Structure 1
Amino acid sequence: MMKYLTAIASAALVSIGISAPAKADLKDILDAGTVRIGVPSDVPPFGFLDENNEQIGLDVEVAKMIAEGLGVELELTTVTSANRISYLATNRIDLTIAAMGATPQRALQIDFSSPYSALSIGLFGPEDSGLESLSDLGDQSIGVARGTTQDIELTERMPDANIQRYDDDATAASAYLSGQVELFATANIIANDLSKRDPDNALAPIEIFRYSPTHVGVPKGNPELLRWVDTFVFYNLNNGRLSDLTEEWLGQRLPESFPSM
C-alpha cells in the first residue's frame, strides 16, 4: 500500500511541475575527469595574474588541491564578485573558490563549505584622513566592489553613506588611486597589497568590520559534492596544509579555534 501511495505522490508532483531535488554531481565530475572551478584574477593574494599572465594565489592553490584530491584535471574559470554565484547557478562551473564569505542571503542561492581560510574586512583610507571610525564619516565618497561582504556590511552599518559601487575590487581600487573616491571598503590583504605597490597612496584602517572566513561555493542540490568538499577542508585543516597556504599568501596562520559550518 505504501509503495502504491508513494507512486501516486510522485506522479502528482511530476504532473504539477515539481521535480525531486537534483542529484549530487560528484559522480559526474569524476566521470568527466575534470572539475571546473571559478577563481578570481583581480583579488591578490587570493587570485591574480603573475608576470607571465598565469593565474596564481591562495584560491588557485586550493583549487589545485581539490582537483588533486578528486584525482581529476583542473579547469580554471575567471570569476568576479558580480558573477561568481551566477556562474554556479547556470552550471558554467562546478565550484567557486573566490575569497567569498558566507551570508544568509547568498545561502539562498548556493551552498557553502566549511571555511578554508580567512581575512578581515573594513574601511580604509589615507593615513592622514583624520578618521578613526565609521562614526567620524561625513560625506566622503567610498569605493566598494558590488555585492561583496564589505559592501553588505558597509551598507548595513552606514546606509546613508556616499557609497560608490564598482564591478570588482580592481575597479574600486583604481577609483581610489585615481581620486574618484576618497575611501575604500575592502579586505585587509587588498589594502596591504595596494600600499606595498603604491606607498604614496598607502591605505590605513579606519574601522575593521569583522573577521571574515572564506568558503568554497557549491551549487544547490548537490549534497554529495558539498560533503566531499567539507571532508576535504576538514582533512587539510587538520594536517596543516590550509594553514600553511594561508601563512604563505596572507602572512599569518589560521587560528587554532578556526570555525566550521
Structure 2
Amino acid sequence: MIKHTMFAAAVAAACFLGGTVARADLLDNIMAAKKIRIATDLAIPPSGMMDASMKPTGSDVDTAELLAKDLGLEIEWVQTTGATRIPNLQTNKADVVISTLSVTPERAKVIDFTDPYAALESVVGGLKSIEVKDWDGLKGKTIAVSRGTTQDTALTNRAKDGGGFEVARYDDDATMVTAAVTGQADFIATSGTIVNQIGVKNPARPFEPKVLITTFNLAMGVKKGEPHLVAKLNEWIATNIANGKLNAIYKKYHGTDLPENMRGAS
C-alpha cells in the first residue's frame, strides 16, 4: 500500500513537472527567437501608416520599434484592423498589439493589458461647415465608424437609447476615412487626431472634432495568461514614460503632449 501511494505520488509529481515544462512562457519564447510579432494597424495615420518608401511609420510604429530595439529583438509586423486586434492575440498570430488599443472592462475579460503608454481622445468629428455643438445636434445625421472599435460600441449603445442618429459601419479606419475624404460621410467617430487628418487628405473637406465621446488610456494588449510578458512590458513603459521618450514620440506625430499625469521628464 505504501509503495503504491509513493508510486502514485511520483507519477503525479512527474505529470506536474512535465506540465510545467510543457507550458511555454511567451516572453521566454520571444527572447529565444529574438523576434517579436507586433500587430499594428498601418492605415490609421498618424498612429500607424506607410511612408513614401512604403516603410511603416507613426507613433505606434515608433513605440514598437523602440521597444524591440531596447529588448534586442527583430519586429515581425502583423497587419491588423480595429476589429482583428484582439483575435490576432487569441489565435496566436501576434505576441503583442500596439495599435491605439483602448482599455475597456469588456476587453479586459478576454485579453490582458499593460499599463498605459499613450492616450486617445475619442470624438465625433464632422465637416467644419456643419454646426454641431452637442449630441442633440447629431440627430438625423449618419455617423461613420470603424467596426469593432470602442466608438462603434459607444454609438450603438447611444443610438439604442434614442440618440436619433444612424450608424454606418466600415470594416476598418482606412475605408472610413476614405468615405469622409470623398464625401460619402460628413461625420465620423474616431480619435481626434484622425478627424484632423481628413482636411489634410482633402483640403476642400476640412473636418473638426464636434462632440467628445470619452478619453481612453491606450495600452499594449497581450493574450491571457502571460504575466511575465506583461511585467516586462510594464517595466519598459515605466522607464520610457519617466525618461520622456514616449511623450516625445506622441508629440512628434500628434502635435500635443501626453496627459500631464502620464508625462515623465521632458
The two structures have a TM-score, normalised by structure 2, of 0.86
Partner of 2:52: 51
Could you report, residue by residue, the CA deviation over 1:181-227 in whole angstroms, capped at 9, with x for unpaired residues? 33111111111111122121111222011222211111111000001
Q: Provide the secondary structure at the position in 2 that maps to 1:215.
A: strand
1:170 Cα deviation (Å)? 1.1
Relative to structure 1, the CA distance from residue 234 to residue 155 in structure 2 (aligned partners, 3 Å threshold; closer, same or farther) is same
Q: Deviations over 1:146-182 (max 9, x none)?
A: 1112212222333353001111111111222333333
Question: Larger C-alpha radius of gyration, 1 or 2?
Answer: 2
Name 2:95's counterpart in structure 1. Answer: 94
Q: Does residue 78 of structure 2 align to residue 77 of structure 1?
A: yes
Question: Is the contact between residue 23 and residue 222 of structure 1 (CA under 8 Å) also seen in structure 2?
Answer: no
**Superposed counterparts of 1:191-210, under 5 Å:** 191-210=195-214
1:49 maps to a residue whose letter is M
Match of 2:127 in 1: 126
Separation (CA, whole Å) in 2 of partners of 1:24 and 1:112: 17
> Does the CA-based 8 Å contact 2:180-2:198 persist in structure 1?
no
- Measure the CA separation in 1 of the matches of 2:227 and 2:247: 26
Alignment match, 2:169: 165
| Equivalent residue letter for 2:89 | L
Q: Matched residue of 1:37: which SS?
A: strand
Q: Among residues 224, 241, 247, which one is paired with 2:245 in the alignment?
A: 241
Task: Tell me, in whole angstroms, the C-alpha distance in 2 between the residues paired with 1:200 and 1:178.
Answer: 10
Q: Deviation per CA, 1:22-49: give whole Å up to 9, x if none.
A: 6531011111111111111111111101
Distance 1:59 1:130 in 2: 33
Please report how far the alpha carbon of residue 70 of structure 1 lies from its aligned counterpart in structure 2 after TM superposition. 1.6
**Aligned-partner Cα distance in 1 for 2:46–2:180:** 19
Q: Amino acid of the residue matched to residue 257 of structure 1?
A: N
* Equivalent position SS for 1:211: strand
- Equivalent-residue separation in structure 1 for 2:23 and 2:187 (angstroms): 44
Name the stretch that deviates more: 220-229 or 132-141. Answer: 132-141
CA–CA distance in structure 1, aligned partners of residues 214 and 236 of structure 2: 26
The one-letter code matched in structure 2 to 1:252 is T
Secondary structure of the 2:246 match is helix
In the alignment of these two chains, the number of paired residues is 247
1:257 maps to 2:261: yes
- Structure 2 portions without partners, runs of 5+: none
Determine if contact 1:24/1:221 at 8 Å carries over to the other structure.
no
The residue number in structure 2 matching 1:115 is: 116
1:188 matched to 2:189: no
The answer to which of 244-253 and 205-214 deviates more is 205-214
Instruction: Using the TM superposition, give the Cα deviation of residue 93 of structure 1 relative to its aligned residue in structure 2, in angstroms.
Output: 1.0
Contact preservation (8 Å) 1:22, 1:221 = no
Q: For the residues of structure 2 that align with 1:42 and 1:195, how far apart are their CA atoms?
A: 16
Q: Distance in 1 between matches of 2:73 and 2:131?
A: 52
How far apart in 2 are the matches of 1:246 and 1:29?
26
Structure 1 equivalent of residue 180 of structure 2: 176
Larger deviation: 43-52 or 207-216?
Answer: 207-216
CA RMSD of aligned residues (A): 2.2
Structure 1 length as normaliser, TM-score?
0.88
| Identical positions, percent | 34
Matches within 5 A, 1:203-242: 203-242=207-246
| Cα distance in structure 2, aligned partners of 1:177 and 1:256 | 33
Structure 1 unaligned residues grouped into runs of 5+: none
